[in-house]
Amino acid sequence: MSEKPVRAIKLNVINEPKDSYTGGKSSLCPGCGHDQISSVIVNSAWENGLEPHRIAKMSGIGCSSKTPAYYLGQSHGFNTVHGRMPSVTTGANVVNKDLTYLGVSGDGDSASIGIGQLIHAIRRNVNMVYIIENNGVYGLTKGQYSATADVGSKKKKGATNETQPIDLCAMAINLGCSFVARSFSGSKKQLTAIIKAAMSHKGFALIDVISPCVTFNNNDESLRSYGYVKDNQAELHSVGYIPHFSPLEQVEVPAGSFRDITLHDGSTMRLETISEDHDISDAVAALGALHQADADKKHVMGLLYFDGEKPALEDELELHDTPITEMGEELLRPSQAKLDDVIAALRG
Amino acid sequence: MDRVVNDFTINIATANGTGSQSANLILLQTLFDMGIPVSGKNLFPSNISGLPTWYIVRLSDLGYQAPGDRTHIQVLVNPATWDEDLASLEPGTVVIWNTDSKMEMNREDIISYPVPMTKIARGLNPKLARMIANVVYVGVIAELIGMDQKVLEEAISKQFGGKAKAIELNSEAARLGRSYCAENFTKTDPYTVEARERKEGGFFVEGNEAVALGSIFGGVQMLSWYPITPSSSLAEGIIAWLPELRTHEGKATYAVIQAEDELAAAGMVIGAGWAGARGITATSGPGISLMQEFIGLAYFAEVPSVFWDVNRVGPSTGLPTRTQQGDLAMLYEGSHGDTQHIVFIPGTVEECFEFGWRVFDASERYQTPVFGFSDLDLGMNRWASHGFEYPDKPMDRGKVVLTKEQLDSIENYGRYRDVDGDGIPYRTLPGSGLDPILYRGTGHDEDGAYSEKPDVYYKLMQRLKRKIDGARDKLPAPVMREEEEQDIGIVFYGSMENTIEEIDDILETATGKKVSTCRVRALPLHSEVQAFIERHNTVIILEINRDAQMNGIMRKEYPNHLLHKMHSVAYSDGMPPRARLYAERIMDVLKEVGQ
């Protein structure tokens, strides 16, 4: 009898197995798009060679916001309150700028109750990845329309939605968001490249991921059902990601025209143009592509807009290189002599 | 006529945005620098320019700091409130009035000093006449009551921070006011000042600035705030002092963010606390209302976070520029569900500084939101001080596990497990790689995992109760002034400190009874407060609100045998407390209960 060959466990660049990036068992509905996104997050972090304990996973409230329990079990996380994850992340980010902040939210969390905080986090260019798992419904409260539901979309039960949706990508571009992308939970390859690039970007990276709700919003009339999105997505370009530590292995040089974009940590995002030349530094073109897709009842996918030069919040604050959380009393509490100076100044 | 020395109240009625605040502060500073015990109260509108403002200066050799019962010297500059102000004066009141206001002086039972303030100012500088006119009345008052010209000019110099032109102009305006008074009036009123021996090193400071400085000496690491009266100057005080006090190698050792609203401000404070830093926000009642959900999260997930509430008059927008102790109950039991929070209640500017750093220690020690509770009166008025004491112990960062060895040495570690029996668990920080958990506002077991189990929830809530209760006697003890009789006791808190002595004197004069006092300085209540009540026959709980909020907290927590001797005097009209008003209410209650 021959012994079963021991399969070598595949390790990433920092010698971690993928298991170091997985989390608990999902309690979402079987087939939920969110679970696919969770697995892409696990892959992206592993492939990028991020140290699991140097990631902070942040979320609000809702189906999507439960998912941090299902990935990155070795990372600290904070499942905060509904729609308020951006502010909590902002506070954490400025005191410890050396962590990778990975926020996951939903369309209710981001487009309704939390739209104000989302807008201001974009405006400040908080250095974080912000993934919206967008299904157009409130799942956890059993299927009410969200603010991203398309006009005319129809749930299994109930009336047709007549209210204008909010396009979070268009909104983000208008706000000057430094990284705006749209993808689909079923497009694993594209989504992986985008999330990996977002993790390498310094600034606010918004990724709107259409993630069909298998329970409340997967009927054929819905513009966010699996079938509809699969048949009606227009890719702006295929996205490749080349990490800074292994520029040649990961991505084959594609045929045709492509552009390389260097990211903050030295990684490269490679965009292969599918149809026409989409200039990702052109906000007008990005908005045009979104509006055209809207008119065609299609979803446009890929990196829509990118600005690698915009200073992040942590840069604007002119913080000391040492993260504030790592400073001791000698830096945090001024001396008795300083207090004497203060009192002297008050005496005038 | 008998002279009245250093014991009268000056009321100055102007419109805001006219520069009168500078003039009033010069008056206050001069009297202070002459060694006269003096206090100033700014009654200002929620407005930038043109609405009525009153500034009350109380001189009192006895050291009384509350606004007095009546006005002795009225300055009338503002036509808008002229008639009402004039009508409210008692016969014999001195009225210094601007004849250029084109208003009538229809009282003959007052002592009238008409001064063409605007004309005098215009002669000096036509463009700035409106502003300089204010310093003209300061000059008139100075001459009338006998203020020292040299000290006055020093105060002007202090006010304008070395700006030579402004100092010269304003000094000249004061001199012109003085000489107009000397040349045109014969003094027929009794009010006069005498310099007293001055204790060296005194200065004026607002409670908000004192808290700001205390926070910085407490090692504040992140400030997030949303502007709101009357707390803005607290945040702005921190911002103003940080660069000088907390720059290292040319870079900031702190982060400041002006948030988009109070919800976000609270969220950022909690984010910073979660990451292991000392985060703070400053707000007022409306802001605390908005922060409620986050406060519950910080309590339940056990995240250190500091919130200062500079109380203004509620409910709703209320009287945004008036003072009250109306938020106490909201702070103590903030957010939905069963909660209980630590509240520090300073009564003086020195305590504003001290509690400014202590709140951080308490918040990290108990891993919970901690409130500083001030009010507009304490926060925005200038109070005399002789200095702040440097923190007498190192920063207490609480039970934070920083190394693997530390973690391994804790038997049966769990983020929410009460290992030490004091209700306070240990915590690890994001980025450390030690015991990574997902913090959550949902029910959780001792390891931080989601749970809806009845016994898990019950035990968690009992532990939280035990944790906060355990803080009682570690928080600032009450300050007691106890009489031998131990008959009547008054329990009070916060800015009422500045009125209590006068109340006490009025009570003693009127009833012949000596009254003990006990100033509560923190919630949950220190055991000494209960002991004070035990020792006295009749106890009045005195506060500046309608609903007797402190009384309510005590009645909920104290044993039945104490309740019959506890009586409430709660009153609020937006004004800083006037001693007689509260003293009379106390006497009514004492009479009712047969005291």
Q: What percent of chain A has pLDDT over 90?
A: 69
CATH 3.40.50.920 fits B479-592, yes or no: yes
Predicted local confidence at residue A195, as pLDDT:
98
Q: What is the mean pLDDT of residues B152-172?
A: 94
Report the residue from A68, A78, A333 with minimal CB separation from B219: A333
Say whether pLDDT at B425 is over 90. yes
Residues of A within 8 A of B251 (CB-CB) are: 318-321
Q: What percent of chain A has pLDDT over 70?
A: 94
Report the SS3 class of residue B192.
Answer: strand
Inter-chain residue contact A117 with B265, CB threshold 8 Å: no
Band of pLDDT at residue A13, cut at 50, 70 and 90: very high
Say whether pLDDT at A210 is over 90. yes
Distances in Å between the alpha carbon of B571 and those of B295, B542, B584?
28, 8, 11
Phi-psi region for residue B420, left (φ > 0), alpha (ψ -120 to 50) or beta? alpha
Predicted local confidence at residue B198, as pLDDT:
85
Residue B8 dihedral angles phi and psi, to the nearest 5° = -160, 170
Predicted local confidence at residue A236, as pLDDT:
87
Minimal CA separation from A182 to chain B, in Å: 26
The pair of structure tokens assigned to A9 is: 């466990």
Residue of B nearest to A316 (CA): B255
Predicted local confidence at residue A252, as pLDDT:
54
Close Cβ partners of B243 (under 8 Å, ≥ 6 residues apart)? B252
| Cα separation, B199 vs A17, whole angstroms | 71
- What DSSP element (H or E) covers A40? helix A33-47
Over the stretch A280-314, which tens digit does the pLDDT of each residue have?
999 999 999 999 999 998 999 999 999 999 999 99
Predicted local confidence at residue B50, as pLDDT:
83
Q: Are A324 and B255 spatial neighbours (Cβ–Cβ below 8 Å)?
A: yes
Minimal CA separation from A322 to chain B, in Å: 9
| CATH 3.40.50.920 boundaries in chain B | 479-592
How many Cβ atoms sit within 10 Å of the Cβ of residue B146? Answer: 16
Say whether pLDDT at A47 is over 70. yes
| Cα separation, A2 vs B470, whole angstroms | 65
Inter-chain residue contact B203 with A348, CB threshold 8 Å: yes
Asked if residue B315 has a cis previous peptide bond (ω within 30° of 0), the answer is yes
Report the SS3 class of residue A203.
Answer: coil
Predicted local confidence at residue B401, as pLDDT:
98
Over the stretch A242-288, which tens digit does the pLDDT of each residue have?
888 865 544 455 555 778 888 998 898 888 876 667 889 999 999 99
Over the stretch A145-198, which tens digit does the pLDDT of each residue have?
899 988 887 766 678 888 999 999 999 999 999 999 999 999 999 999 999 999
| pTM of structure | 0.96
Report the residue from B204, B253, B275 with minimal CB separation from A92: B275
Question: Smallest Cα–Cα separation from A61: which of A108, A100, A10, A22?
Answer: A108
| CATH 3.40.920.10 boundaries in chain B | 4-192
Predicted local confidence at residue A275, as pLDDT:
63
Q: What is the mean pLDDT of residues B23-45?
A: 95
Residue A180 dihedral angles phi and psi, to the nearest 5° = -130, 125
Mean pLDDT lowest for which of A1-10, B182-191, B417-426? A1-10
| Cα separation, A59 vs A32, whole angstroms | 18
Question: Smallest Cα–Cα separation from B10: which of B140, B152, B197?
Answer: B140
Predicted local confidence at residue A237, as pLDDT:
85
Report the residue from B252, B260, B437 with minimal CB separation from A116: B260
Q: Are A325 and B277 spatial neighbours (Cβ–Cβ below 8 Å)?
A: yes
Inter-chain residue contact A342 with B224, CB threshold 8 Å: no
Inter-chain residue contact A117 with B263, CB threshold 8 Å: yes
Structural domains of chain A sorted by starting position, each given as residue range(s) with its CATH number in brackets: 25-319 (3.40.50.970)
Predicted local confidence at residue B6, as pLDDT:
97
| CATH 3.40.50.970 boundaries in chain B | 206-385
Question: Smallest Cα–Cα separation from A75: which of A97, A102, A53, A104?
Answer: A53
Mean pLDDT lowest for which of A90-94, A254-258, B257-261? A254-258
Q: State which amino acid sits at residue B220.
A: V
Phi-psi region for residue B526, left (φ > 0), alpha (ψ -120 to 50) or beta? beta
Predicted local confidence at residue A246, as pLDDT:
67
Q: What is the mean pLDDT of residues A303-326?
A: 97
Predicted local confidence at residue A227, as pLDDT:
87
Band of pLDDT at residue A220, cut at 50, 70 and 90: confident
Over the stretch B279-334, which tens digit does the pLDDT of each residue have?
999 999 999 999 999 999 999 999 999 999 999 999 999 999 999 999 999 999 99
Predicted local confidence at residue A157, as pLDDT:
67
| Cα separation, B544 vs B547, whole angstroms | 9
Inter-chain residue contact A334 with B216, CB threshold 8 Å: yes
Predicted local confidence at residue A254, as pLDDT:
53
The pair of structure tokens assigned to A220 is: 């054929």
Burial (CB count <10 Å: 0-12, 13-18, 19+), residue B420: exposed
Predicted local confidence at residue B533, as pLDDT:
98
Say whether pLDDT at A40 is over 90. yes
Residues of B within 8 A of A347 (CB-CB) are: 201-203
Inter-chain residue contact B433 with A74, CB threshold 8 Å: yes
Residues of A within 8 A of B294 (CB-CB) are: 81, 84
| Cα separation, B271 vs B273, whole angstroms | 5
Q: What is the mean pLDDT of residues A229-252?
A: 77
Inter-chain residue contact B271 with A93, CB threshold 8 Å: yes
Minimal CA separation from A286 to chain B, in Å: 27
Range list of β-strands (E), B355-409 = 369-375, 382-385
The DSSP-derived string for A259-292 is EEEE-TTS-EEEEEESSS---TT-HHHHHHHHHH
Report the SS3 class of residue B520.
Answer: strand
Pairing of strands B515-520, B488-493: parallel
Report the residue from A78, A334, A347 with minimal CB separation from B439: A78
User: Secondary structure of B528-560 in the HEC alphabet?
Assistant: HHHHHHHHCCEEEEEECCCCCHHHHHHHHHCCH
A283: number of CA atoms within 13 Å, CB side? 12
Q: What percent of chain B has pLDDT over 90?
A: 95
Inter-chain residue contact A95 with B395, CB threshold 8 Å: no
Choose between B516 and A158: higher pLDDT.
Answer: B516
Predicted local confidence at residue A247, as pLDDT:
56
Residues of A within 8 A of B215 (CB-CB) are: none
Residues of A within 8 A of B213 (CB-CB) are: 342
Predicted local confidence at residue B532, as pLDDT:
98
Q: What is the mean pLDDT of residues B494-505?
A: 97
- What DSSP element (H or E) covers B454? helix B454-469
The string over B190-199, giving b where at least 16 C-beta atoms fall within 10 Å of a residue's C-beta and e elsewhere, is ebebeeeeee
Inter-chain residue contact A96 with B276, CB threshold 8 Å: yes
Distances in Å between the alpha carbon of B90 and those of B76, B106, B389?
15, 14, 44
Q: State which amino acid sits at residue B391.
A: P
ipTM: 0.95
Q: Whole-number mean pLDDT of chain B?
A: 96
CATH 3.40.309.10 fits B206-385, yes or no: no
Residues of B within 8 A of A334 (CB-CB) are: 216-217, 245-246
Report the residue from B205, B253, B265 with minimal CB separation from A324: B253
Inter-chain residue contact A343 with B245, CB threshold 8 Å: no
* CATH superfamily of domain region B4-192: Pyruvate-ferredoxin oxidoreductase, PFOR, domain III (3.40.920.10)
Say whether pLDDT at A2 is over 90. no
Q: What is the mean pLDDT of residues B421-425?
A: 98
CA B518 to chain centre: 18
Over the stretch B457-474, which tens digit does the pLDDT of each residue have?
999 999 999 999 999 999
Choose between A256 and B568: higher pLDDT.
Answer: B568
Inter-chain residue contact B252 with A318, CB threshold 8 Å: yes
Predicted local confidence at residue A3, as pLDDT:
65
